[in-house]
Amino acid sequence: MERVPILKIGQTLFVSIQIDLQDESVMRLQEDLAEELGATGAHGVIIDITAVEIVDSFIGRMLATIGSISRLFDAETVLVGMRPAVAITLTELGLSLKGVRTALNAEKGLALLNRST
Amino acid sequence: MAGYMRDHQDKIVSRWTELVVASVRGRSSAVEVRRELEDLFPLTIRAMSGADEQASGELRAALTELSRSRARNGFTPSETALAVFSLKDAVYELVADTAELTPDYLAFSRLVDGLGLHTFETYAAAREQIIADQALSMLELSTPVVRLWDGIIAVPLVGTLDSARTQVVMEKLLETLVATGADHAVLDITGVPTVDTEVAQHLLKTVNAARLLGAECIVSGIRPQVAQTIVSLGIEFGDIATKATLADALAYALNRTGQKVTKMGQA
Amino acid sequence: MDELPIRSGDDVVRVRQQVRVVAAKTGLSLVDQTKVVTAASELARNALVHGGGGTASVEVVTSSHGRSGIKIGFSDDGPGIPDIDLALTDGWTTGQGLGLGLSGARRLVDEFELTSKADGGTSVVVVKWSR
């Protein structure tokens, strides 16, 4: 099972999803992030999905859950780099991913996090 | 019947060619026509036996190709179908006096009728595809996305906002967001004649999609009648900003991005 | 036609990949490819989680107008769906359970057929046409 690496830069945790994630890997990421947030007290999480071609309802819900978990740790999550085709498909699926903030790229995501702290 | 036709192949194909050439009125040479029909004839014989599935398939495919190429050369579908039907005439002239072949002829005739209809259907299907392709091009051309200012883009929607158009709008809007890095998008519906629940849903979908790319949408161009319809239908725009005009929307977006327009010579 | 087993999370990923390969071959636009692969992911996962495992079949099809498309079939031997109408009800934002996966997948494809199999279990066949 692939484990997605989590980078800590300053007060922000960076996660870059590069591959077609298997369900277990997504759940593992959720756990790992919760652990990191607890351990580091980071204020923000950036999840980069620029390389992700498919986000179905399961993965979508996982991402929303990560957002909720982060908030419990008083951290904000920003999902960045969603591909147009993925956004259109998620919208058609009826997933608005409320509770997760979004930005076009990591740079803007970081700016968003810094604005809200 | 098939055997009889096979034995008299040359005679039948020649007569068939004559009949078809007479109807094409010079648009095809006798040699070309003969070649086409000579290819079709053996396939027809094989298909007649009924047991050869592959032959039927090949025959239909050959007729589809014939129909398409003739359509490209300006033949009407009727002309192509008639060309197929004239095989019946060619064969009938030969078997008219042979009583024992009459029942077979009926079956043969029905087979040819089916083939003639097939060429007609192929023609119709090809035309439909062309119309669909053109409709799609028109849709794409009529959906411009313009850059209003740094970080602010606008999509002037003109005409009905149906699901097909919504797909095109979403694709173009999102592509432009990525290309320009904009974080505000104005959806101007001045040119949308009616806004009912369905149109409102399409707008909401578009707003949602843009949000997933981190952009905030403003719906502008809400005319008085449209406003009344929206309220009476109970459509909720929720937290989506709405403005009466594109200008209002631009001012709003500028404000949100910390920008201001002032007259020169003033502080 | 390719037949793939659905017995694990890895199988779901494999189904996605296979559908993507075939969808690209049929000339579907990028958005349409994404939609059909996502639908396949939903349905494969459904077969695994609610159906206890099953199989998927992927093939290229041609319409009478000569358009090509991708046809994907899912079959599981699970308990079946007691109330198909309820399962297919459009659930836009609930995000819970069976409803979202099925009705969502239906919106992503052009043709969608769900039937309960005679010997138990469910069969879903979807088609997405190229434009």
Look at strands C54-62 and C2-6 and give their pairing: antiparallel
- Among A25-29, B234-238, C77-81, the range scoring the smallest mean pLDDT is C77-81
Over residues B56-70, mean pLDDT: 84
- Write the ipTM: 0.92
**C64·B171 Cβ contact <8 A:** no
Between chain B and chain C, the number of residue pairs with CB atoms below 8 A apart is: 12
Q: Which of B139, B171, B191 is the last residue of a domain?
A: B139
A5 conformational bin, left if phi > 0, alpha if psi -120 to 50, beta if neither: beta
Count the neighbouring beta carbons within 10 Å of the beta carbon of residue B150: 12
Q: Do B178 and A84 touch (CB under 8 A)?
A: yes
Residue B83 has pLDDT above 60, yes or no: yes
Domain tally for chain C? 1
Reference C21, options C73, C54, C70; nearest CA is C70
How many angstroms away from the CA of B207 is the closest CA of chain A? Answer: 9
How many other C-beta atoms can be found within 10 angstroms of the C-beta atom of residue B152? 24
Would strands C68-76 and C54-62 be described as parallel, antiparallel, or unpaired? antiparallel
Looking at the DSSP assignment, which residues form a beta bridge with residue C57? C3, C73
Cβ pair B208:A91 closer than 8 A: yes
Closest CA–CA distance from residue B183 to any residue of chain A (Å): 8
pLDDT (0 to 100) of residue B31: 81
Residue B208 forms contact with C (CB below 8 Å): no
On whether both B130 and B190 belong to a single domain, the answer is no
pLDDT in tens, chain C (131 residues): 889 999 998 899 999 999 999 999 999 999 999 999 999 999 999 888 888 889 999 999 998 767 899 999 999 887 776 666 666 665 433 334 444 478 889 999 999 998 888 777 889 999 999 98
Structure tokens at A89: 């498909």
From CA A6, how far away is CA B15, in angstroms rounded? 81
Query: A34: domain CATH number?
Result: 3.30.750.24
The reply to whether B65 and B23 lie within a common domain is: yes
Phi, psi of B262 (to 5 degrees): -125, 155
* Residue B146: HSE in the Cβ half-sphere, 13 Å Cα cutoff: 11
Q: Report pLDDT for C92.
A: 38
- Name the average pLDDT for chain B: 86
Strands B184-191 and B152-158: parallel
Residues B10 and B120 in one domain: yes
The first and second tokens of residue C50, run together, are 């609610």
Q: Is B146 on the interface with C (CB under 8 A)?
A: no
Strands (E) across chain C are located at 2-6, 54-62, 68-76, 111-116, 122-129
User: Which class for B58: exposed (0-12), middle (13-18), buried (19 or more C-beta within 10 A)?
Assistant: middle
**For residue B267, is it within any domain?**
no
Q: Using an 8 Å Cβ cutoff, are B209 and A88 in contact?
A: yes
Assess whether B103 and B187 both reside in one domain.
no
CATH number at residue B184: 3.30.750.24
Cα dihedral sign, B9-B11-B14-B20: negative
Q: CB of B236 within 8 Å of any CB in chain C? A: no
How far apart, in whole angstroms, are the C-alpha atoms of residue C35 and residue C114? Answer: 18
Residue A1 in domain: no
Q: Find all residues with CB under 8 Å of B124, minimum gap 6, and list them.
A: B77
**Which tens digits make up the pLDDT trace of B163-216?**
888 999 999 999 999 999 999 999 999 988 888 889 999 999 999 999 999 999
pLDDT value at residue A84: 97
Residue C20 structural domain: 2-129
Mean pLDDT of B3-19: 82
Of the three residues B139, B157, B175, the one that is the final residue of a domain is: B139
Domain end among B96, B117, B139: B139
Restricting to A residues 12-41, those with a Cβ less than 8 Å away from any Cβ of C are 20, 22-24
How many angstroms separate the Cα of B112 from the Cα of each of B22, B39, B59?
Answer: 19, 15, 11
Q: Does one domain contain both B213 and B166?
A: yes
User: Which residue type, as a one-letter code, is found at position B2?
Assistant: A
Report DSSP state, residue C73. E
**Section A24-48 average pLDDT:** 92
Contact criterion met (CB below 8 Å) for B17 and B37: yes
In a domain, B113, yes or no: yes
Instruction: Pick the residue of A78, A104, A110 with the most B CBs within 10 A to test the interface with B by mutation.
Output: A104
Task: Please tell me the predicted confidence (pLDDT) of residue B121.
Answer: 86
Q: What is the mean pLDDT of residues B206-228?
A: 93
pLDDT exceeds 60 at position B75: yes
Return the amino acid letter for C58.
V
Host domain of residue B29: 2-139
AA letter at B139: L
Q: Please report whether residue B72 resides in a domain.
A: yes
Is B136 a residue whose pLDDT tops 60? yes
Partner-chain residue, chosen from C17, C20, C38, that has the shortest CB–CB distance to A89 = C38
CA distance B253 to chain C (A): 28
Contact call for B129 and C66, based on CB within 8 A? yes
The 10s digit of each residue's pLDDT in B244-256 is 999 999 999 999 9
Tell whether A37 is covered by a domain: yes
Of A79, A91, A101, the CB nearest to B209: A91
Provide the 3-class DSSP secondary structure of residue B152. Answer: strand
**In terms of CA atoms, which chain B residue is nearest residue A48?**
B213
Does the beta-carbon distance from A91 to B177 stay under 8 Å? no
Q: What is the pLDDT of residue C90?
A: 57
**Quick one: pLDDT band at residue B58, thresholds 50, 70, 90?**
confident
B156 and B115 within one domain: no
Looking at the fold, whether B67 and B123 belong to one and the same domain comes out as yes
Instruction: Decide if A61 touches C, using CB distance below 8 A.
Output: yes
Position B265 in a domain:
no
CATH number at residue C79: 3.30.565.10
**In angstroms, rounded to a whole number, what is the distance separating the alpha carbons of residues C68 and B207?**
32
Q: How many domains does chain B have?
A: 2
**Residue B262: inside a domain, yes or no?**
no
Percentage of chain B lying above the pLDDT 90 cut: 29
The backbone torsions φ and ψ at residue C53, rounded to the nearest 5 degrees and listed phi first, read 105, 160
Q: Is position A67 within any domain?
A: yes
Q: Based on the fold, state whether residues B179 and B104 are members of the same structural domain.
A: no
Q: Which of B129, B137, B173, B198 to mutate to test the interface with C (most CBs of C within 10 A)?
A: B129
Residue B74 confidence (pLDDT): 77
pLDDT at B73 over 70: yes
Domain that holds residue A37: 6-116
Sign of the dihedral through C-alpha B84, B90, B91, B96: positive
3-state DSSP of chain A: CCCCCEEEECCEEEEECCCCCCHHHHHHHHHHHHHHHHHHCCCEEEEECCCCCCCCHHHHHHHHHHHHHHHHCCCEEEEECCCHHHHHHHHHHCCCCCCCEEECCHHHHHHHHHHHC
Which has the higher per-residue pLDDT, B102 or A88?
A88
Q: φ, ψ for residue B241 (rounded to 5)?
A: -70, 135
Domain count of the fold of chain A: 1
pLDDT in the model for residue C98: 47
- Per-residue pLDDT tens digits for A100-115: 999 999 999 999 999 8
Give the Cβ contact number of residue A107 at 10 Å.
Answer: 12
Q: How far is A75 from chain B (nearest CA, A)?
A: 18
CB of C95 within 8 Å of any CB in chain B? no
Note the pLDDT of residue C12.
92
B12 and B133 housed in the same domain:
yes
Task: Please check whether residue B30 touches C, CB under 8 A.
Answer: no
The alpha carbon torsion through B176, B178, B180, B183 (nearest 10 deg) reads 100
Burial of residue A84 (CB within 10 Å: 0-12, 13-18, 19+) is buried
